[in-house]
């Protein structure tokens, strides 16, 4: 649902779970830190939202060994949730992040249900706008993606997090590695998710042929970037449909995976996403998100499209609020 009406100009605003985004372009978790590094390169106030690096209750140093490896059309990462811990995030990063203007989304991760719930309780009392519950990180040994692969495991963490953070809108970030993504998604909605983000990275690997061993200490890593975009788009398309089958409850989708400009973003918005996130594309080209916002506006102006709901080609009015 758009709410900001400007005189004739296309309205890029979006409301997701009651949170107002001035445009649908959000910095993806883990690719933007807490906004600090990019402040000198782009006007952060123009972004629709900023999603933090995955936060855990206690500080984590992340994985050892190589953490990033480029592929011809993508990026493999095995960062392993390096972060200062939720209390330090709230004290040291959040006040500055809050002042920038965009919607602040805290990406929450953990190894156990208890750890997730304790973290959620702290975030419930913090000045963030939304929690993105990460049950899809492929780069940690315990927790992370294991919760996102099957509906029961997902409910076991979404339920307690929902309970621990009753005041915050809750998006659950899904794994493209789940054998039945729609089943996990429906279970998350039943357990209290207000929105769903998709997709996290795809489990993948690389081998160092000279050293004759896997590049990453964990063997597998997460693939993102242009290589995954058509698959991620197909997943958004299918999930949009699956959540509208009889008996299912529809919630807004935040789409991502390989988006590197306005044309890519438009595909996701047409497929049914209410907003999009951009991650890997920011590394080689920090202006990507700003150019995407400008490009969306130009496209909508040229095509006579007044608001984001009109971009959705799946038919019917969107339930986004
Ligand atoms: C270096 C790196 C770190 C990431 N860290 C996180 C994270 O902490 N939490 C999370 O939910 N997703 C994380 N992701 C996944 C991204 O948020 C996003 O879902 C994925 O990269 C697909 O989008 P993209 O192709 O635009 O990068 C990370 C991705 C990259 C490349």
Ligand 1: residue of 25, 28, 147 to mutate (most ligand atoms within 8 A of CB) is 28
Which residue of 63, 222, 231, 281 sits with most ligand 1 atoms within 8 Å of its CB, as the best mutation to test the pocket?
Answer: 222
Q: What pLDDT, on the 0 to 100 scale, is given for residue 317? A: 45
pLDDT value at residue 319: 43
| Sign of the alpha-carbon torsion through 233, 161, 55, 144 | negative
Distance from the CA of 295 to the center of ligand 1, in angstroms? 23
Beta strands 253-255 and 275-278 are parallel
What pLDDT is stored for residue 146 in this prediction? Answer: 83
**Structural domains of the chain in order of their starting residue, each with its CATH number:** 25-248 (3.20.20.70)
How many other C-beta atoms are found inside a 10 Å radius of the C-beta of residue 167? 7
**What pLDDT is recorded for position 258?**
98
Asked if residue 146 has its Cβ within 6 Å of ligand 1, the reply is no
Reported pTM: 0.96
- Residue 137: count of CB within 10 angstroms of its CB: 26
Angstrom distances, CA of residue 223 to CA of 63, 202, 275: 16, 5, 21
The stretches in the chain having pLDDT less than 50 are 317-321
Question: Closest ligand 1 atom, CA of 200?
Answer: 19
pLDDT confidence of residue 316: 54
Which residues are CB-neighbours of 205 under 8 A, at least 6 positions away? 76, 214, 215, 216, 219, 220, 221
Alpha-carbon distance of 128 to 105, in angstroms, equals 6
- Determine contact, residues 215/76, Cβ cutoff 8 Å: yes
Name the residues annotated as catalytic. Answer: 137
pLDDT at 221: 96
Taking alpha carbons only, the member of 176, 204, 193, 181 closest to residue 68 is 204
CA of 277 to the centre of ligand 1 (A): 10
Measured distance CA(131)–CA(120) in Å, rounded: 8
């Amino acid at each position: 649902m758009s709410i900001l009406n400007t005189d004739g100009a296309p309205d890029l605003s979006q409301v997701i779970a009651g949170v107002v985004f001035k445009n649908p372009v959000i910095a993806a978790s883990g690719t933007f830190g807490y906004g600090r590094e990019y402040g000198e390169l782009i006007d952060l106030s123009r972004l629709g939202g900023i999603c933090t690096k995955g936060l855990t209750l206690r500080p984590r140093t992340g994985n050892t060994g190589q953490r990033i490896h480029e592929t011809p059309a993508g990026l493999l990462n095995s960062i392993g949730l390096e972060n200062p811990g939720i209390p330090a995030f709230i004290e040291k990063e959040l006040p500055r992040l809050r002042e920038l203007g965009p919607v602040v989304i805290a990406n929450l991760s953990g190894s156990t249900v208890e750890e997730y719930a304790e973290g959620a309780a702290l975030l419930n009392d913090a000045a963030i706008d939304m929690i993105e519950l990460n049950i899809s990180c492929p780069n940690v040994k315990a927790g992370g993606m294991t919760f996102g692969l099957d509906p029961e495991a997902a409910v076991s963490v979404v339920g307690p997090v929902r309970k621990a953070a009753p005041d915050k809108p809750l998006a659950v970030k899904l794994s493209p590695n789940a054998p039945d993504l729609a089943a996990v998604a429906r279970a998350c909605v039943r357990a209290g998710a207000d929105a769903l983000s998709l997709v996290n990275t795809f489990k993948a690997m690389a081998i160092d042929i000279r050293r004759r061993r896997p590049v990453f200490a964990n063997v597998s890593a997460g693939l993102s970037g242009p290589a995954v975009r058509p698959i991620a788009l197909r997943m958004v398309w299918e999930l949009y449909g699956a959540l509208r089958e009889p008996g299912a409850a529809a919630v807004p989708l935040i789409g991502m995976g390989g988006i590197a400009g306005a044309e890519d973003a438009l595909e996701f918005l047409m497929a049914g996403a209410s907003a999009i996130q951009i991650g890997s594309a920011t590394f080689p080209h920090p202006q990507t998100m700003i150019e995407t916002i400008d490009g969306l506006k130009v496209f909508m102006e040229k095509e006579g499209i007044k608001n984001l709901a009109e971009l959705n080609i799946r038919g019917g009015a969107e339930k986004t609020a």
